[in-house]
Amino acid sequence: MSELHKFIFEGLPVRGALVVLTDAWQEVLRRRAANSQTGAYPPPVAELLGEMAAAAVLMQSGIKFDGALVMQIFGDGPVKLAVAEVQSDLRLRATASVIGAAHAGATLRELVNVRGGGRCAITLDPRLRLPGQQPYQGVVPLVDAHGAALDGIGPVIEHYMRQSEQLDTTVVLAADDRRAAGLLLQRLPVQGQHNLAQSHVADEGQGEHDGTDDPFQRLSLLARSLKREELLGLDADTVLRRLFWQEPLRRFEPAQGSAGPRFACSCSRERVAAMLKGLGVAEVESIVHEQGQVEVSCDFCGQQERFDAVDAARLFTPAAQQSPQPGSVQ
Ligand SMILES: [Zn+2]
């Protein structure tokens, strides 16, 4: 069962979250494997996408916001685009478009940042958008403050949180074909103080330094001792106990089952119809002429929507002649 555990350290300005995606993640992979046009993800792409899905849940868990958190990586390598989207209620979906060969063991750099052109974007898209309101978006290149390529989604998130949110964050992630999991620690702002005031900004991307007098640095060292096999093999209780048994850990009720992270896709026939309308009557008619119908399959869940000649023509007849459509399709 997929689960999200949130916790704080009593008396210390640090919060944390641990996510374990099992069924939710396996469903993402199963649907991709069932897509006859794409087939299953190559293992390094699955690992990348699993880490993104876990990271997106961790980021969503730390904000008060009603809507979708969308993490996108725009790559210049064999992976052109990877997307993980998590709603406030922890429904999630993820997809990647792979245009080249991803060899076993390929690193983040080899997958999406071959020429240093890779980007990571985080978008907060409110569920109820006011007229004219744009979703909030922050974008960072996949290099650190010194221009060195970041090799891992964890370092990318840490870099993003520093750059865009001025939040000191430690993220450890791992994924395979059964599980996608991650641990996040974040420094809580102390009232009247800039969040990074106590941290070591100049040290970003460098090794560990002596931070034993700083609770966040000390706890981060513990978090970073978490091994990939542990994150992929142990249950959440064991992970937290092993890492923080000497710490004043206070855990909250975990989010799991129908209230926890779970696969769900928000695609619909109405959205596909709106997209086709956007293409225009000439384009849609030309596809129908060539192929007899328009067939669109959802990249996230594999759902196929078909519009035959009659359906297609109906898209472009005046709205008054049609059954009512939801007003907020996009
Ligand atoms: Zn879908």
Average pLDDT over residues 297-319: 89
- pLDDT number for residue 320: 58
Residue 267 CA to ligand 1 center (angstroms) comes to: 4
297 alpha carbon to ligand 1 midpoint, in Å? 8
Q: Is 166 exposed, middle or buried (0-12, 13-18, 19+ CB in 10 A)?
A: middle
Dihedral, 48, 108, 243, 236 alpha carbons, nearest 10: 0
Q: How far is the CA of 192 from the centre of ligand 1 (A)?
A: 45
Give the distance (Å) from ligand 1 centre to CA of residue 299. Answer: 7
CA of 314 to the centre of ligand 1 (A): 23
Q: In this predicted structure, what is the pLDDT of residue 190?
A: 75
Residues 174-196, mean pLDDT to the nearest whole number = 86
Q: How many CA atoms lie within 13 A of 235 on its CB side?
A: 4
- CA 269–ligand 1 middle distance (angstroms): 10
**Ligand 1 center from residue 93 Cα (angstroms):** 8
d(CA 9, CA 15): 7
Beta strands in 75-190 (DSSP E): 79-87, 91-98, 119-126, 136-141, 169-175, 180-187
Judged against a pLDDT cut of 80, whether residue 319 lies above it is answered with no
State pLDDT tens for residues 111-123.
Answer: 999 999 999 999 9
CA distance 8 to 61: 13
What pLDDT sits at residue 205? Answer: 41
Point out the least confidently predicted range of 51-60, 238-247, 249-258, 264-273.
264-273
Lookup: tokens for 274: 């709106």
Angle among Cα 80, 129, 157 to the nearest 5 degrees reads: 40
CB 197 within 8 A of CB 162: no
Q: Determine the distance separating the centroid of ligand 1 and the alpha carbon of 187, expressed in angstroms.
A: 36
Q: Compute and round to an integer the Cα radius of gyration of the chain.
A: 22
**Distance in Å, CA 286 to ligand 1 centroid:** 25
Cα of 145 vs centre of ligand 1, distance in Å, is 37
Per-chain mean pLDDT for the chain? 90
| Res. 202: pLDDT tops 80 | no
End-to-end CA distance of the chain: 32
How far apart are the CA of 23 and the centre of ligand 1, in A? 17
Instruction: Please indicate, yes or no, whether the overall pTM of this predicted structure exceeds 0.85.
Output: yes
Q: Give me ligand 1 centre to Cα 22, in Å.
A: 20
How do residues 249-276 score in pLDDT, each as one tens digit? 999 999 999 999 999 998 999 989 999 9
Burial tier of 201 (Cβ tally within 10 Å: 0-12, 13-18, 19+): exposed
Tell me if 251 sits within 8 A of 240, measured CB to CB. Answer: yes
- Torsion 154-116-80-88 (CA) sign: positive
178 alpha carbon to ligand 1 midpoint, in Å?
21
Segment 21-41 shows an average pLDDT of 95
Q: What distance in angstroms lies between residue 210's CA and the mean position of ligand 1's atoms?
A: 48
